[in-house]
Amino acid sequence: MNEIIIELTDLDPQGFFGERNATIESLKKYYPKLKLVARGNKLKAYGDEAHLEEFDKRMEMLMEHFGKYNKLDENDIERILTSDDKETFQASIKGDETLVHGVGGKKIKPQTPNQRKLVELMRKNDMCFAIGPAGTGKTYTGVALAVKALKEKQVKRIILTRPAVEAGENLGFLPGDMKDKLDPYMQPLYDALRDMIPAERLADFVEKGIIQIAPLAFMRGRTLDNAFVILDEAQNTTHSQMKMFLTRMGKQAKFMITGDPGQIDLPRRVTSGLKEALLVLKDVQGIGMIFLDDKDVIRHKLVKKVIAAYKGIENHPE
């Protein structure tokens, strides 16, 4: 039986191995043919040479991830151990990936290979579609990219929009001004902004129109120049709404469209503008598309299980 010894140089062994050796228990699930023994800052692995070689490479990736983010949870372990794209992963953790420094100095970075691909797509294209289920960080990453562009003066304003399907886009009956009416529907975008911009400055940006919260129904007729524009929950747009939105793009603008085709709230027999756009625009140069999946989920680990469970009944309806 062959043996390798992996030493956690410059890493906190307790943090890496986790409470009650949670990391080791996860590793055993993925490498059942290896015997693993953790003592101090060393991990010994016994087994077949081929399995040990693969294990050694993955451990290097795990240690690099922990060294960079100072965390290693069950989602991180699964992503790293099941990733087919080793080169992309290893390249991504070299250098500083910080998009913005948020409130309290928090570093906002892409957390998964697909989020990194999304960042790269937005660098290369002026329009990008980010598609994926809840919890994959598409909206949060989009807002971070928008704030980064504003801070670096690549754009003069950020415009956030969302189809308010629950109110039928007829918000007149709701109390308050336009911002008050839209707040409940724009909350995920606000939550992300509050992570990245101090409260007083954010309020000042909104008051001055540097950051605009606009319902999709009110975008008609506008030309959006020098702006980073995010259309969130785009699966709930109709054909005419999506076409109208996409043709608002002005000079020096960046457009990001996010959505989850699995959570459409439109009436039956109404075609989702997002689904249609993905088909119509798939071969258009200058438009990027990224499809995130359950491996990109960065919320509670149960979210991934919920998505998988629902995918099962959707794929096999009664």
Kindly report the CATH number assigned to the domain that includes residue 308: 3.40.50.300
User: Mean pLDDT score of the chain, rounded to an integer?
Assistant: 84
Is residue 95 very low, low, confident or very high in pLDDT (cuts 50, 70, 90)?
A: low
Same domain, 113 and 85: no
Q: Are residues 83 and 108 in the same domain?
A: no
pLDDT (0 to 100) of residue 282: 92
pLDDT at position 262: 87
Residue 42 lies in domain? 2-92
Does one domain contain both 153 and 289?
yes
Q: 144-193: per-residue pLDDT in tens?
A: 999 999 988 899 999 999 887 654 445 555 556 655 666 677 788 888 99
Indicate the pLDDT class of residue 297, thresholds 50, 70 and 90: confident
Record the pTM.
0.67
Where a domain ends, among 40, 74, 92?
Answer: 92
| Residue 87 and residue 231 share a domain | no
Give per-residue pLDDT as tens, 245-271.
999 999 999 999 999 998 888 888 899
Give residue 244's pLDDT.
94
Which of the listed ranges 54-63, 159-168, 184-193, 284-293 does the model predict with the highest average pLDDT? 284-293
Asked whether the predicted pLDDT for residue 93 surpasses 80, the reply is no
Task: Show which of 32, 66, 92 is a domain's final residue.
Answer: 92
Question: What would the mean pLDDT of 66-80 be, rounded to a whole number?
Answer: 79
Position 181 scores a pLDDT of 62
What CATH number did the domain enclosing 27 receive? 3.30.1370.10
The pLDDT-based confidence of 77 (bands split at 50, 70, 90) is confident
pLDDT at 149: 93
Residue (of 4, 30, 15) closest to 71 by Cα position: 15
Number of domains composing the chain: 2
State the pLDDT at residue 168. 45
pLDDT at 220: 85
Q: Which of 92, 112, 127 is the last residue of a domain?
A: 92
Report which of residues 25 and 166 the model is more confident about. 25
Least confident range of 31-40, 81-90, 145-154: 81-90
Contact in structure between 248 and 204 (CB atoms under 8 Å): no
Mean pLDDT of the region 188-212: 89
